């Protein structure tokens, strides 16, 4: 009796052990750590999180309008602060994305993927760097920027303290069918003691 009962419990709890990211809609991660997630087409807001390398991310968030509209599909990601209190340079890759966009599509007509990022540098460092790109995945993969529908990476200057930055790019898309996903990939390198933030948009 006892053995059968334990087996039944193990089977009934198995789905609870599956990775949460597998069913995520809107998802924001930093170096593979989930900061926040939620249903597609909603917003998620992350608690202050200290990553394994010691970098502290405060106010991380992401949102989208998935499944999109006839005119536009939108994706946004941002942070309030990213700070490096350690004594060495640290790099963090943020992925913010959503799945199941069904509009707009092409043909008829063509589309333009626009990609913009901006923010401020509270405490600069000669070791600071930032690279940002937006991507669309025809395979509807979660936070997937490994395909060919990627904007070129932009690399604004984030070295100077008490400064602002902004940069953007765009990509013409002639063919896109539903469903698809959109992702923003932001890679931030912070020198010791550096603090900055970002606000990114893709449409």
- Which tens digits make up the pLDDT trace of 96-129? 999 999 999 999 899 999 999 999 999 999 999 9
**Minimal CA–CA distance to 147: which of 187, 126, 176, 124?**
176
Q: Which of 1-15, 68-82, 127-141, 158-172 has the lowest average pLDDT?
A: 1-15
For the stretch 154-185, pLDDT in tens is: 999 999 999 999 999 999 999 999 999 999 99
Other CB atoms within 10 A of residue 198 CB: 23
Architecture of domain 26-202 in this structure: Sandwich (2.60)
* Mean pLDDT of the region 25-52: 97
How far from each other are the two terminal CA atoms of the chain, in whole angstroms? 58
Whether residue 52 has pLDDT greater than 80? yes
């Amino acid at each position: 009796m006892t053995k059968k009962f334990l087996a039944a419990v193990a089977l009934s709890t198995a789905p609870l052990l599956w990775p949460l990211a597998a069913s995520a809609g809107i998802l924001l991660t930093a170096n593979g750590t989930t900061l926040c997630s939620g249903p597609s087409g909603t917003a998620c807001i992350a608690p202050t999180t200290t990553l394994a390398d010691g970098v502290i991310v405060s106010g991380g968030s992401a949102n989208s309008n998935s499944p999109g509209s006839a005119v536009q599909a939108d994706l946004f990601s941002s942070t309030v602060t990213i700070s490096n209190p350690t004594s060495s340079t640290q790099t963090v890759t943020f992925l913010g994305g959503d799945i199941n966009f069904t509009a707009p599509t092409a043909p008829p007509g063509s589309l333009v993927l626009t990609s913009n990022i901006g923010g401020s540098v509270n405490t600069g460092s000669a070791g600071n760097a930032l690279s940002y790109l937006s991507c669309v995945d025809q395979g509807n993969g979660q936070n997937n920027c490994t395909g060919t529908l990627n904007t070129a990476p932009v690399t604004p200057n984030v070295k100077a303290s008490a400064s602002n930055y902004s940069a953007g790019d765009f990509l013409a898309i002639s063919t896109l069918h539903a469903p698809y996903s959109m992702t923003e990939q932001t890679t931030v390198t912070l020198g010791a003691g550096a603090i900055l933030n970002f606000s990114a948009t893709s449409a």
